[in-house]
Amino acid sequence: MYLKILESRPGDFDVLNNLGVLSGQTHDLAQAVRYFDEAILAAPDNPSGYCNRGLALNGLQQWEAALASFDRAIALNRDDAISHFCRGNIHKQLGRFDHALADYDRAVTIHPGFAQAWFQRGTVLQHLERADAALSSYDRAIEIKADYAEAYVNRGFVLSLLNRLDAAVTSYDEAIALRPDAVAYVYRGSALKDLGQRDAALQSFDRAIDINPDYAEAHLNRGVVLYELNRIDDALASYDRAVAIKPGYAEAHFNRASVLRAVQRFEDAAHGFDTAAALQPNIKFLAGARLEAKLQICDWSHIDVELAQVMAGIERDEAVSHPFALLTFCADPRLQRIAAEIFVRETCPENTSLGAIPKRAAAAKVRIGYFSADFREHPVPRLLAEVIETHDRQRFQVIAFSFGPDTRDPMRKRMEKAFDEFIDVREKSDREIALISRDHDIDIAIDLGGYTGNSRTRIFAMRAAPLQINYLGYPGTMGSGYMDYLVADDTLIPPEDQQHYSEKIVYLPTFQANDSKRRIADRVFTRDELHLPPTGFVFCCFNTNYKVMPETFESWMRILGRVPGSVLFMDAKVEATAVNLRRQAQAKGIDPARLVFGTPLSLPDWLARHRVADLFLDTLPYNAGTTASDALWAGLPVLTCIGSTFTGRMAASLLKSIGLPELIASTFAQYEDMAVDLAQSPERLANIKNKLAHNRLTMPLFDQKRFTKNLEAAYEAIHERYRNGLPPDHIRVS
């Protein structure tokens, strides 16, 4: 019709403009531009021709030409809200967010009821990390257009960024009520997961997949929740599906590798991390995870390059390593603090949504809450159980908040019995747990997990108690402003090193709790059944394999080389570890057969097995902790080399606490000389073993009544400061 009209009215602006619009609607954008060009020639001062031409050029992705067209439209009519809006869209597309924001601001000033402009303004404010302003913009869009489902989705996303997760879920629910959408269900599931509502999150991801079975992101997020529910095979299947749909999905490869690492399939995990790195090398925490997986099997290929990359990334304030992984291979406490601060910023920033805890009237007892995922057969309760049992109930009430599995093993039953109240909160959200703690008037919350597996740091980010302590499970700083104290001693954290810890330090005479009820089996192991030679000195190290760094291993090989007939007795989680270490030994000129690997045993038998060894050789930069106290409890001397971090000074602290400072070396050269001397001086070694046997029940390390009194004195001191309105500060219990 318009073509016939054009024949009779050549050069008519309205006809040419309408023909351009029709061409655009039929997706013939090039023809649309030609019609708009003719329309502009016919009426060069009409802004709508330039605006429409800009839209067509935008569709052709000719961004700069489109911008020029909108510029001309705006020059002709500065009150053209549509042209400002469209120009803002192009600036946003080009990443020019400040220019885009200015255009959207002008559009809504001209036309306050322009819902789309308010919406796009919110998206730009998100990019500019102005979350509060973005939220206000989405709220305005919804006020204008009550059925604006996309605005509800984006509003929920911003609320999640602001840690207002319950409100985020409500916003996603509003979006879904308007238009059931897979994206909204995925975002809703993510918020529910962060709230700790894993079953509800899983249902949300399943609903997204029902709507769109090929939605790779839904399968990935489903895998995350399944892993947290300990449904390992299902989690791997979800990640496999995500990768099948989207082979280049780096995050899916990364998450899949993380699960494989957790189930000790370290070689497969390392390959998975390599794939993720090849696809997207800047995935958060990837570099440290890949390095840790390789260290689990003592694969030291390219380790110098990878270590340098991780350290340089931390120096650049990048999220390159989980702080717990860093403890293994970093000997710099300054970098450990930076990495922890990055982790807090990225995953668990302070959340003030519950408000401050009002100061309560003084009660007859200080109420202590112990929070852990590991109230079961695990190193933490192995150390802590007797402390809980011996707390002074006249002065303290002790309550457990358990968010780990109910294993029903003997340690779980012992811990349930030890506390005044044992609350199973594994089905509760982080917010709910923090509120339960507040409702119980907990005065001091003890985080026994820190950044170890299955931790729930967001509980403490919301403040579970007026005072919060990082203790026992995580040997380092958490780098957050909401953890007030860290329990240590002068060996672990000399006063000059306090700057490397975000917490104030509670100095006890000895930092580590212990359990004097640990049973050692009566079983007497023979060398033959442990595959040890009938004669020769037995060095051992039962530390976790990832603690064995190349420098430590080279030191051990030099020791074996200087002590003929000696062997090194170790544990290996997987066969690949033994293969790699034997290969490294051979490369250092040591017969691989001189490395002997034990098999898993029950704890009493494992402790009894220590009696076959002659000397425990410690690792650096991550010392033995629980493993060292186990060895000392079993009567086996531990030789350590003191380092510069919390983890590098743990064994030295324990040795001082049991009166054996002569087993602390300050350099690897001294460490090697001491090991060789003890191996070649039976009388001297016997004297040390006799001294250990005497000190075992008389020195502070295993005196749990004394330790508990010191810990309680610390609790009372920090609580007294709080009652007096004083901020946390370093305290010392003597």
DSSP letters along 113-154, please? T-HHHHHHHHHHHHHTT-HHHHHHHHHHHHHH-TT-HHHHHH
The closest of 612, 657, 621, 659 to 641, measured between CA atoms, is 621
DSSP letters along 19-50, please? HHHHHHHTT-HHHHHHHHHHHHHH-TT-HHHH
Separation of first and last alpha carbons in the chain:
97
Band (pLDDT 50/70/90 cuts) for residue 552 is very high
Using one digit for the tens of pLDDT, what is the confidence trace for 502-544? 999 999 999 999 999 899 999 999 999 999 999 999 999 999 9
In angstroms, rounded to a whole number, what is the distance separating the alpha carbons of residues 568 and 326? Answer: 26
In angstroms, rounded to a whole number, what is the distance separating the alpha carbons of residues 620 and 553? Answer: 10
In angstroms, rounded to a whole number, what is the distance separating the alpha carbons of residues 42 and 676? Answer: 98
413's tokens: 């039953």
CA distances from 7 to 2, 12, 18, 45, 568 (A): 9, 10, 14, 23, 97
- Mention every residue, 6+ apart, whose C-beta is less than 8 A from residue 544: 573, 627
Q: Which residue has the higher pLDDT, 63 or 460?
A: 460
**pLDDT for res 542:** 97
CA within 13 Å, CB half, 302: 10
Amino acid at 679: A
In angstroms, rounded to a whole number, what is the distance separating the alpha carbons of residues 615 and 319? Answer: 39
In angstroms, rounded to a whole number, what is the distance separating the alpha carbons of residues 651 and 668? Answer: 15
CB atoms within 10 A of CB 599: 9
Q: What is the mean pLDDT of residues 453-459?
A: 91
Band (pLDDT 50/70/90 cuts) for residue 11 is low
pLDDT at 6 over 50: no
CA distances from 211 to 188, 208, 215, 314, 621 (A): 14, 5, 9, 41, 50
**pLDDT for res 10:** 59
Using one digit for the tens of pLDDT, what is the confidence trace for 374-413? 999 999 999 999 999 999 999 999 999 999 999 999 999 9
**Neighbouring-strand partners of residue 617:** 639
Band (pLDDT 50/70/90 cuts) for residue 9 is low
Instruction: Region of 541 please: left (phi>0), alpha (psi -120 to 50) or beta.
Output: beta
**Are the C-beta atoms of residues 485 and 470 closer than 8 Å to each other?**
yes
Band (pLDDT 50/70/90 cuts) for residue 317 is very high
CB atoms within 10 A of CB 289: 25
323's tokens: 């702080």
pTM of the model: 0.89
pLDDT at 5 over 70: no
Q: What is the mean pLDDT of residues 28-38?
A: 84
pLDDT at 17 over 80: no
CA within 13 Å, CB half, 673: 8
20's tokens: 């351009």
CB atoms within 10 A of CB 138: 28
In angstroms, rounded to a whole number, what is the distance separating the alpha carbons of residues 415 and 399? Answer: 11
**Are the C-beta atoms of residues 250 and 279 closer than 8 Å to each other?**
yes
Angle 35-37-38 from CA coordinates, rounded to 5°: 65
- What is the chain's mean pLDDT, rounded? 95
**Are the C-beta atoms of residues 399 and 415 closer than 8 Å to each other?**
no
CA distances from 288 to 177, 215, 295, 329 (A): 42, 29, 10, 9
Burial class (CB in 10 A: 0-12, 13-18, 19+), 390: middle
Band (pLDDT 50/70/90 cuts) for residue 22 is confident
**Are the C-beta atoms of residues 218 and 252 closer than 8 Å to each other?**
no
DSSP letters along 535-585, please? SS-EEEE-S-GGG--HHHHHHHHHHHHHSTT-EEEEE-SSHHHHHHHHHHH
Using one digit for the tens of pLDDT, what is the confidence trace for 139-172? 999 999 999 999 999 999 999 998 888 899 999 9
pLDDT at 428 over 70: yes
Using one digit for the tens of pLDDT, what is the confidence trace for 186-223? 999 999 998 878 899 999 999 999 999 999 999 999 99
Band (pLDDT 50/70/90 cuts) for residue 2 is very low
Q: Which domains does the chain have, with CATH numbers?
A: 1-77 (1.25.40.10), 85-146 (1.25.40.10), 148-247 (1.25.40.10), 281-347 (no CATH), 366-507 (3.40.50.11380), 538-702 (3.40.50.2000)
pLDDT at 24 over 90: no
Using one digit for the tens of pLDDT, what is the confidence trace for 234-281? 999 999 999 999 999 999 999 999 999 999 999 999 999 999 999 999
DSSP letters along 364-394, please? SSEEEEEEES--SSSHHHHHHHHHHHHS-TT
Q: What is the mean pLDDT of residues 11-15?
A: 75
Percent of the chain topping pLDDT 90: 86
- Distance, CA of 244 to chain centre: 27
Q: What is the mean pLDDT of residues 654-677?
A: 98
354's tokens: 């519950």
* Secondary-structure breakdown of the chain: helix, strand, coil percentages, each rounded to the nearest 5: 55, 10, 35
**pLDDT for res 38:** 84
